[in-house]
Each structure stands twice: as structure tokens, then as C-alpha cells.
Amino acid sequence: MPVLAIAREAMPIVARAAIICRMSDSPLIRECCRSLALVSMLALPAVFGARAGLAEPAYGVAMHGQPALPADFTHFPHTNPDAPKGGTLRLAVTGSFDSLNPFIIKGSPAWHVRLLMFEPLLARNHSEPFSLYGLVAEKVDMPEDRTSITFHLNPKASFADGASITAKDVLFSWKTLRDHGRLNHRTYYRKVLKAEAIDEHTVKFTLDGKDRELPLILGLMPVLPAHWFKDRTFDKTTLEPMLGSGPYRLVEVKPGQKLVFERRKDYWGKDLPSRRGMFNHDRIIIDYYRDRQAAFEALKKGLVDIRFESDATRWATAYDFPAVKEGRFVQEVVPTKLPAPLSAFVFNTRRALFFDARVREALLHTFDFEWANANLFHGLYRRTSGYFDGSELSSIGRAADVMELRLMKQVGARLQERFIKGEWRAPVSDGSGRDRRNLRRAVQLLGQAGWRIAGGRMVHAKTGQPFSFELLIQSSEQEKIALHWQKALSAIGITMRVRLVDSAQFTRRLLNYDYDVAPYTWHNSLSPGNEQKFYWGSFGRKQPGTRNYAGIADKSVDATIEALIAARTRTELVAAARLLDRLLSSGFYVLPLYHAPGQWVGRWQHVKHPATLSLYGFQITTTWDGRLKNGK
């Protein structure tokens, strides 16, 4: 009998027992009734308590609060559920690849293999900071204390060979990525205390509850086919197309040159609300080009459909070919609501030259953004200040509030007043390209760190060692700004060598921290969490393969990241993110460069996208071919 039915039957018994006890003259009857009433009343809380602990599985989960979409939602807000299926989407990538396995640290993996071929347990809605909805797992159980998460798999979920996705595949994925996957997977999945299959379509992960983001991270875990890997080695690079559960399969591979994906007509998830209006093209072709100019020329010829432009000069001057003038090609500046990307020159503090924060701060004063923006970038960029620029997570222009100050004390952070009050900004020049005031400040800071100018060269006052380092780059666009900085450094006697390498070598050296200074861009969401450990955590100073390219090792930073992850409310998360922003900015670990006011997207007119875009801006997964019938 259902629990509530039992409760309904029990309540009258208790009531009648009480009445009989009051009306009867028999001591024996009164005693029996009292016993029955007592037993019933003691049992009822247990009945209702059991019901309270057995809430129905949820259709979605959110990092803070509840998912924004109702249980009966039909599609994500940034998709067009009526988008027609068909056509071919052609994309261009600069560089090369030597592996089709995107889950391991070895090799240079091909683009979009994971996105197009491997589905996670839950789907992220990019119109919310961090909410997940049903996909491979159609529903989920997660208690308030987040000491576990249970995934109820969709019985229809299957791999491209028709094999059903079962609990065995989920456990295999977790164990394999935990032991042999990329470092972020290894770090997160090792926190699981216990993983078990409740039945063929139910998997439960038991957690300690300390990391409140971990259940959602597990929800984003890609599901791998255990049967396919039975006779294959997972942690080796491969050019054999892998078996996935996603909307596409790989049908053509030219190593280092080309990938062709074909939409699966039998894709099991095509009608799910979390996938409706997405993955609309029948074929996606990705061609690899030796450099960005070659890729741009292919775009002009109609060999590429979409380009995310990264070069301001090209955006301002090169999009003047006939198709643009005729309206057949569209230039769009697509706004996003995310923190601005942190594009920066990263100082490798593992090198003795950059160990002193005063040295790093001095170098910020040698970079003349105002001159570069006016003379190299047509005034299109904005200077980046901080790690969450342009969002509520940024500390710029905001004094630390009571919650932040309390957290600052808890983590043992020591900050200068300019950072506590939110007054720090990246240095501003007079735009002359040789701002004497900024250069004097650079020389002053270097002097405090033990450096001086002798014979026109910056040397260490005690050792006589010249101030000299190498900037590692991988593109002509980076070379342009590198030479600008090189000229400014030479004005105060610093020698910077610019070393241009191919993308594969750049990636290898970056992963192994084999550089003095290198460019990199971090992309943050509105719900930062565990990835911040991967970006700035102390373990990354010695552990290869993280994105802690600066080599940061600061206990206050580590503790603040832990507070960020443990935040139970949005207010707590914002406070922790702002303190993290202050700590990282005060360490001068990077020379922040600049960012565009939005995404620069060039597309041929037939490539359509929904009128409502996600928080992340333009997404290729929601586009469709407007030349098809019934397109909206």
C-alpha cells in the first residue's frame, strides 16, 4: 500500500482510540486504547519521515537555487525548436591534430570530437549560470547536503552501434577518466567516496558533501562505451574514430588536415527538450589550415561558413570582399553576458627571474595598451583589468564588503588597500608608445627588486645578470603585439626574444611549463568553481598539464577557491569570486591585455541562428541552413 494511503488509514485509528479511551468505563479497554494510540502516533512520524526522504527524482539541478526552466520545458531558450535539419556546415581550424581522443593529456586532439560525438549524463543550459537538465540520465536524485547524487538513465540512451547505455558504462567512464583521463577529470573524480550500480539503469555516487559543485561536475561526465574499449588502450593517442553516443559520427579523417562528421539519423536524443533545435546540420566538415590568414582566404572563397575573428585589424579592414557589400556575408558583434576572457602574457614564476612580484608589476607598466589599441587595433579593444572583468564577479571598482572581509580574514589573505577598495586598474598610458611616467615607475619597481640600469642594460645589482627572457608565441597576430612590447622593454634595457613556434610545439611547451613568458586566454563562466583549482591551484606549480601556467602557489588562493566551491548561495559565491579576483590581481601573475566588446562573428548569410542567444553568445550547435525549406 502506498505510504500516503497508510497514513490516511492510520489517522482515523488514532482518533477513534482517543475517543474510546475517554468514553469507556473499563480500565482494561482504556489501557488497550492508550497503547494502540501510542503505537500509532509513534509510527506516523516514521511513515511521514520515510516519505520525506524519498522525494521524486528531479528533472534538473542547479548550482544555486532551483533550475530556471519548469519540468515541462520544451527546449532551451537559446535554440529554435523548429530549425530545419539538413545541409552542410564547414568550419576552419588553424593548426593540426594527431589524435581523436579528447579525454587524455597526450597528443593534440582534434576539435569538436567530444562536443559532437559524446553525450554527458546531463545537459547544460547555457542560458543559466549553471543548471543541468536530463540527457543520458533522464532524472537525478541529489539531497540538500549533496552527499550523493543518483542518476536514473534514460532507457532509450544508446551508443552509435545501437548498444544501450547502462550503469556499467557510467561506472567504466568514471573509473577510466579518474585513473587515465585529463588532469581535471582525475582531480574531480577521485573525490568520489563510492560509486555503485543500483540496477542496470541507476548509478549512485556517494560524496563527502564538502565540494558542492562535484555532483554537477559528475553530471557533465561524458559517457564512454565499456564494450568498445574492452580490447583497446584508452590512454594512448589514436586516429581511429571512437564510438560515442552523440548526434554525430566521424565518417572521414585525414590526419592533421580534415574531419567529416555525419549526423546520426538514429540519434536517440534528438527529441529531448535539452537537444531540440540543436545539431541541425547533416554534415559538419572541419578543415585544418596552416595559419589564420589561409583560413580567412578560405572563408572569402566560400569554403568556410563561419569564422570567429580574433584579429582587430582583419575585422576592421579585411571584410570588404564583394559578398559583404552584396549582403551575402554578415559581420556581427555578438554580445555575451560572461566575464570578459582574460587574454594575457603569463609570467612563469617557476623561473627565478619572475619570482618577485615587484618585477612582474614593473613589466605591466612597460606595456602601452592605449598606443597599441589606436595604432594596431583600430580602437576596437578594451583593456582587461582582473580575472572576471565586466561581470558581477569582478572586484574592479568595488570595495570589499563585510562578507568578503570576513572571508579574507578566514583565508589569511593580506592585501594592499588599493585592492581591498577595488581601486587597482591596469596601468594607463598617454598613448605615445613611450610613456615616460610609466617607464619610470617600471624602473623604480625593478630597483626595489634589486635591478638597475648600467651601460644601457637592465642588470641585477648584485650578480650583474642581464634582464633577458623569451616570449613564446604561435601566430603572426601574437607576434605583432609581442614586437610592440619588445620595443618598450628595450627602452629600459630589457632584452626580450620573441620565439614563434607551430601550434603543436606551443601546446607541448605550455603543458610542460617550458617557457619564460607565454600568451594564454582563460574563459570564465558566471559560476566559477572547481576549474579554478585547475587554473590557479598550488598543485599545478609542479604538476604538468594544468592551466596554472603562472605557477601560482598561494595558500590564500587555495583557501578562497575552496570557499568558492563550498558556497551555498549566489551571494557567497560572488564574495569568494571577488576575493579571488583581488588575490590574483595583487600577485601580478599575468600582464592582462585586452578584449573585444563581444564576439566578432563572420558568417555567410545562409547560416542562421536563433534570435535569442545564450549567455555564451553565438553557438554553432544551434545554427541551421537557411536555404532549407520551412526555415524560421
Q: What confidence tens digit (pLDDT) does each residue in 460-494 have?
A: 999 999 999 999 999 888 999 999 999 999 999 99
Model confidence at 21, in pLDDT bands (50, 70, 90)?
Answer: very low
Question: Same structural domain for residues 219 and 366?
Answer: no
Question: Same structural domain for residues 32 and 133?
Answer: no
Half-sphere exposure of 75 (CA within 13 A, CB side): 17
User: 34-88 pLDDT, tens per residue?
Assistant: 443 433 433 333 333 333 344 689 999 999 999 999 999 999 999 999 999 999 9
Whole-number Å distance between alpha carbons of 151 and 57: 9
Question: Same structural domain for residues 147 and 100?
Answer: yes
In this structure, is residue 236 part of a structural domain?
A: no
HEC string of 267-319? CCCCCCCCCCCCCCCCEEEEEEECCHHHHHHHHHCCCCCEEEECCHHHHHHCC
Model confidence at 370, in pLDDT bands (50, 70, 90)?
Answer: very high
Whole-number Å distance between alpha carbons of 396 and 388: 9
Question: Same structural domain for residues 346 and 213?
Answer: no
Percent of the chain with pLDDT over 70: 91
Whole-number Å distance between alpha carbons of 350 and 301: 46
| Least confident window among 50-59, 266-275, 381-390 | 50-59
3 state DSSP class of 448: helix
Looking at residue 629, its pLDDT comes to 75
Final residue of a domain: which of 201, 231, 261? 231
Looking at residue 39, its pLDDT comes to 38
In this structure, is residue 156 part of a structural domain?
A: yes
The residue among 516, 556, 509, 558 whose CA lies nearest residue 535 is 558
Report whether 573 contacts 527 (CB < 8 A): yes
Looking at residue 630, its pLDDT comes to 56
Whole-number Å distance between alpha carbons of 629 and 632: 9
Question: Same structural domain for residues 153 and 16?
Answer: no
The domain of 12 spans 3-52
Question: Same structural domain for residues 38 and 96?
Answer: no
User: 597-623 pLDDT, tens per residue?
Assistant: 999 999 999 999 999 999 999 999 999
Question: Same structural domain for residues 64 and 12?
Answer: no
In this structure, is residue 127 part of a structural domain?
A: yes
Question: Same structural domain for residues 21 and 64?
Answer: no
The residue among 550, 450, 431, 444 whose CA lies nearest residue 488 is 431
Report whether 129 contacts 616 (CB < 8 A): no
pTM value is: 0.80
Q: What are phi and psi of 463, to 5 degrees?
A: -95, -20
Model confidence at 504, in pLDDT bands (50, 70, 90)?
Answer: confident
In this structure, is residue 613 part of a structural domain?
A: no
What value does the mean pLDDT of the chain take?
91
Question: Same structural domain for residues 19 and 100?
Answer: no
Question: Same structural domain for residues 8 and 101?
Answer: no
3 state DSSP class of 132: strand
In this structure, is residue 430 part of a structural domain?
A: yes
In this structure, is residue 462 part of a structural domain?
A: yes
Question: Same structural domain for residues 387 and 508?
Answer: yes
In this structure, is residue 281 part of a structural domain?
A: no
Final residue of a domain: which of 231, 248, 272? 231
CATH code for the domain in which residue 499 is found: 3.10.105.10
Question: Same structural domain for residues 128 and 187?
Answer: yes
Whole-number Å distance between alpha carbons of 174 and 168: 10
Whole-number Å distance between alpha carbons of 125 and 77: 9
Q: Residue range 155-167: average pLDDT? A: 98
Residue 4 has pLDDT above 70, yes or no: no
Q: At what angle do helices 476-490 and 292-300 cross, to 10 degrees?
A: 140
Residue 542 contacts by C-beta under 8 Å, 6 or more apart in sequence? none
Final residue of a domain: which of 167, 198, 231? 231
Number of domains in the chain: 3
Whole-number Å distance between alpha carbons of 347 and 588: 9
The dihedral region occupied by 549, where left means phi > 0, alpha psi between -120 and 50, and beta the remainder, is alpha
User: 90-118 pLDDT, tens per residue?
Assistant: 999 998 999 999 999 888 899 999 999 99
Q: At what angle do helices 570-587 and 555-566 cross, to 10 degrees?
A: 160
CATH code for the domain in which residue 138 is found: 3.40.190.10
